Amino acid sequence: MTRRITWTLVVLTSVLLVLAVVPLAVSMTARERVAFRDSQRAATRVIAAAAEEHLSDRKPATAMRQELDAAARVGNCAAVYGASARLVASTPCTAAQGEEADELVEKVLAGHEPEPPENEGRLLTAEPAGEVRGPSGVVVLARSAAPLDARIAAIWGWSAAIGAVGLAASVLLSVRLARWVSRPLSRLDVSAQRLGEGALGERAEVVGGPPEIRRLTATFNTMAARMEALVHGHRAVLADVSHQLRTPLAALRLRLDVLAATAEGDTAAELASAEEEIVRLSRLVDGLLAVARAEQATPRPVAVRIDEVVAERVAAWSPVAEERGVRLTVSDGPAVSAALGAGHLEQILDNLIANAVDAVPEGGKVTLDHQATDELARVRVQDDGPGMSPEAKDVAFHRFGNPEARGTGLGLAIVHRLVTSNGGTVRLEDTPGGGLTVVLDLPLWPEG
């Protein structure tokens, strides 16, 4: 962000400097050229006035010679021509003579006002001696354009220096402004990331920056404090519920066990049914607590080897599957790592394998496989059981969503919460030939 703000302001300043400095330099250059030509024409007219006294009034050439000498002393070249275009007098240098001078003389004698030509670093001007329509002669003055070029070079040099100083100042101010704006935003971004990773005590520092960003930081801190209070309150409620429900359930089950030990007949059967309900209620409480913990999970991702975890969970569940007459297998797959919370993949697979083993009849099959793409790791749990209806699939990830579930109906809800909290997705598909396939798409761990 700092770089974008800096470059934007620098480009904007550069455009403004170009639009302001370049036209000013062009205008001053044109003004210098006009002033230089006007001063040369004025000097030429002075000589022409003295030449007219000699050519028209037949006065001595003393005044004309004095003006020519004065022009020569300042480095100018001048020549006086008569009405017949004949050279009458000139300075020692001959820059005011030649073809260009002859053309100017002819035009002036014809009553025209020629444009002064600039050639080889010098400027020629011609002025009539006397009336413009019937001049008694012409004066040609040649002056070096070096002073004009020096002044023009100075104008552009100062303009470039002003532009460079302005651009440097703009860069410094842009960098300071960009840092002033982006630094508190960067700190806020880091704090938001840490809060999202589960650091509930994280707060952003309200220092510097525009008032809007300071207000945003203060609002973020207020939100983080409220979130921390809510999460801690939620966790406290979970702990209280866990203690308050599990303790009386355990005591009730113990009493039923004592009564069942001495009961006979119908009483023993009723007590056994009551014990089964107590066990089911305990599993239900454990499931609800697991769902609540999954919902509030803010995992810090670590590299999890999917192939190793899949093989480990299949090995752990194989005795249970064999006892129920179900074949539990794993297909070979690549060695791939996913970015998941520690222990989450084990919990996800345990729920999926438990559901599949419960759903598949004796002699059925449950298969796990995994593969990797450029963007994600995919894990599939396939079974050839009865499958699920489209209506049941639509609500399978909700709490108690599947009314046909044999257990608590919370396993897929736990899986969904854990997968989505880690940035992945989960969906249900039909297994070819019958059954259900659970497809997990999990984020890959960045290599290198």
CA-to-CA distance for 16 and 177, rounded, in angstroms? 18
Supply the pLDDT for residue 297: 56
How many angstroms separate the first and last alpha carbons of the chain? Answer: 26
Give the alpha-carbon dihedral of 281, 286, 291, 293, to 10 degrees: 150
Residues 384, 359: contact at Cβ < 8 Å?
no
User: Residues 19-53: pLDDT tens digits?
Assistant: 888 889 999 999 998 898 889 889 989 998 888 88
pTM of the predicted protein model: 0.47
User: Residues 188-213: pLDDT tens digits?
Assistant: 888 888 887 667 788 888 777 788 88
Burial class of 198 by CB neighbour count within 10 A (0 to 12, 13 to 18, 19+): middle
Number of CB atoms found within 10 A of residue 364's CB: 20
In the structure encoding, which two tokens stand for residue 303, read together? Answer: 């590299």
- DSSP label at residue 409: S
Supply the pLDDT for residue 132: 78
Residues 383, 354: contact at Cβ < 8 Å?
no
Average pLDDT, consecutive stretches of 10 residues, N- to C-terminus, the chain (448 residues): 74 84 90 90 90 85 89 90 88 84 86 71 86 86 88 90 86 81 82 78 80 86 85 69 71 79 79 76 66 60 89 90 91 88 85 88 91 87 88 77 57 83 88 90 82
Domains, the chain, ranges and CATH? Answer: 2-150 (3.30.450.20), 211-295 (1.10.287), 302-443 (3.30.565.10)
Supply the pLDDT for residue 365: 92
Residues 436, 385: contact at Cβ < 8 Å?
yes
Number of CB atoms found within 10 A of residue 105's CB: 25
Supply the pLDDT for residue 286: 67
3-state secondary structure 323-341: HCCCEEEECCCCCCEEEEC
Residues 217, 49: contact at Cβ < 8 Å?
no
CA-to-CA distance for 410 and 77, rounded, in angstroms? 108
